Structure 1
Amino acid sequence: MNKEFKRVEKEIFDCEYFKELLRSDYEEGKNDLAVVKTTYSKLKKRKCLDDDPFMIELKTQFSALAAAQNAANQEKFDANNPASVAKKRYDAGDYTIAITKYQEAIDQATDAAKKAKYHFRIASIQGRKLKQYAKARASARTAAKLRPNWGRPFMLIGDLYAMSSRRCGDDWNQRLAVLAAIEKYSYAKSIDPEVASEAGSRIAKYNRARPEKAEGFSRGISEGSKQKVGCWIGETVTVRFK
């Protein structure tokens, strides 16, 4: 008898009947996404309209629970993938937060190559976006130590030297800073074929900004001598005139 009733139940009763039939189960499990979804689906099959107050309540509750679950899932994903969060924060212009997240990624990583990649990304942000040149160089050097024969960190250091050269005193000292940049590009080219072409282009570009021989002569400085670069760079370079 019960099976027969179940068979004809949906043909005999309207939406109101099924709302009352399912409401108690819904009230007990209204914080369970699966219960809410099942209740809504069953009532939808029983021709309950979308503008029915109970159907509206179900849709509202489903949206709230789904949003909460998605937020929890995203929080869990972010906690396990800080590098992904770092990229998003970088794209949003939140550079300080991006650095923090890359540091978390470094702490989680066990592979030296990954650590090197994240240190390099930190260096790039520090140098290109925040103009923290000394910090950027330190981060780039760390990346280079973690991944031997990788030219990219030295390319970045060269770029830092070149872009900040005008802050390094008079014309002579600015040109010494350019020499420091060229030396980094040359080193990157010598260790990493993947950056060789790019490094060669940089060298050709900045060769035009090397010190003038006449200026060196007036200072008593000869080709091949050693000179210390001023400002934040503080490295010793080999003098090469135009």
Structure 2
Amino acid sequence: VYYFRAVVNRVKEGKADSSAIVDVYDQVSELIDANLNTYAQDEKMRVNWENIRNNVELTFEPYATCKDLTAIYEAKFKATPEDIALLQKITKILDKKKCTDTPLFFQATQNLHKLQPDAVSAYMMARLLLKDEKYAEAIPYLKDALELQTDNNKKSTSAYLLASVYLSLKNYTACRSYAQKAMELRPSDGNPLLLIGDAYAASAKDCGDDELSKKAPYWAAVDKYIQAKRLDPSVAEAADKRIGNTSAAFPTQETIFFNGKKVGDTYKVECWINETTTIRAAR
């Protein structure tokens, strides 16, 4: 803390550049994090290092605005845009200080991924692009993240995001494929099933050649929603809302009757869905 404050004072006196504060903050933060891990089970030491961290953060706060951090690092980035150590430092500090909406963060992350691709940089690039609704551009990065990640939960998240992107792009078969991949990686998560149901419901208008077959995807969608909430109680509320909305789109009793069917019959949903379901009428 004293060393950090000494550097801050030198900057205030005009004896050092403001970037020195950020550099020392980065070094001190690593030291603090390491000691917090070391003393995780020692309450007295852990509290001591937490107090040190709080003091450092308080001292750094006036220099930690996104505007200031961008001003400090922009010139360095332009001078050496392929300096991996610099890129790592920029992305780390801007991410920590929640400055991820800045053009500098995007450019630094993009360069870092080109030079040293890993799961973290790939995922970060994808999230930045998704935030701007650049779905097609995010796909290669999400695929990189899925391939490079080793943790199944993180791989599942990447697969789920890919499924969501493909749903937004109305590529329903790819949506289902990646949602199924997400389920394989994290079998207890019901969200991928909700997504498959959403894809079935969204494609209803493009399926079938008569009034009954055009409504059939809604049955398959509700099947997925029911399956999702049975598997994962945490998605029950979202599933129930979808079930209510989608059930309202079921065919009427008259439509079912005039197509030679009855409620409770099994029905093969054609189109790209190819699933067997049960005929139900709108209430």
| TM-score w.r.t. length of structure 2 | 0.59
Distance in structure 2 (CA, Å) of the matches to 1:123 and 1:108: 18
Deviation at residue 96 of structure 1 after TM alignment: 2.5
For the pair 1:69 / 2:108, whether they are aligned, the reply is no
Cα 1:66–1:167, aligned 2, differ >3 Å: closer, same or farther?
closer
Q: Cα–Cα, structure 1 residues 216 and 103, in superposed 2: closer, same or farther, change >3 Å?
A: same
Deviation digits for residues 92-126 of structure 1 (CA, Å, limit 9, x no counterpart)? 34322311111111121111111111001001001
Q: Provide the C-alpha distance between the structure 1 equivalents of 2:215 and 2:163, rounded to a whole number of angstroms.
A: 24
177-186 or 73-82, which deviates more = 73-82
Q: CA deviation at 1:236?
A: 1.3
C-alpha spacing 1:69/1:205, structure 2 compared with 1 (3 Å): same
TM-score calculated relative to the size of structure 1: 0.68
Secondary structure of the residue aligned to 1:227 is strand
Question: Which amino acid counterpart does residue 78 of structure 2 have in structure 1?
Answer: A
Structure 1 regions of 5+ residues with no counterpart? 1-33, 35-61
| Deviations 1:156-212 (CA, angstroms, capped at 9, x unpaired) | 111111112111123211221111111111111111111100110111112222222
- The residue number in structure 2 matching 1:136 is 175
Q: Secondary structure at the match of 1:156?
A: helix
Q: Which residue of 1 aligns with 2:227?
A: 187
Alignment correspondent of 1:3: none
| Separation of aligned partners in 1, 2:201 and 2:222 | 8
Which aligned pairs between 1:1-242 and structure 2 lie closer than 5 A?
66-69=77-80, 72=83, 73=87, 74=108, 75-76=111-112, 79-80=117-118, 81-128=121-168, 130-169=169-208, 170-242=210-282
% of aligned pairs identical? 34
Unaligned runs of 5+ in 2: 1-19, 21-72, 88-107
- Rounded to whole Å, the distance in 1 between the matches of 2:195 and 2:215 is 18
- Structure-2 separation of matches of 1:209 and 1:123: 24
- RMSD, matched Cα: 2.3
CA distance in structure 1 between the partners assigned to 2:77 and 2:227 by the alignment: 54
Task: Give 1:70 deviation, angstroms.
Answer: 5.2
Quick one: distance in 2 between partners of 1:64 and 1:198? 47
Distance in 1 of aligned mates of 2:182 and 2:248: 30
**Deviation sequence 1:54-88 (CA, Å, 0-9, x none):** xxxxxxxx986552335531333673321001111
Count, aligned residues: 182
Counterpart CA distance in 1 for 2:77 and 2:205 is 55
In 2: Cα distance, 1:67 partner to 1:175 partner: 57
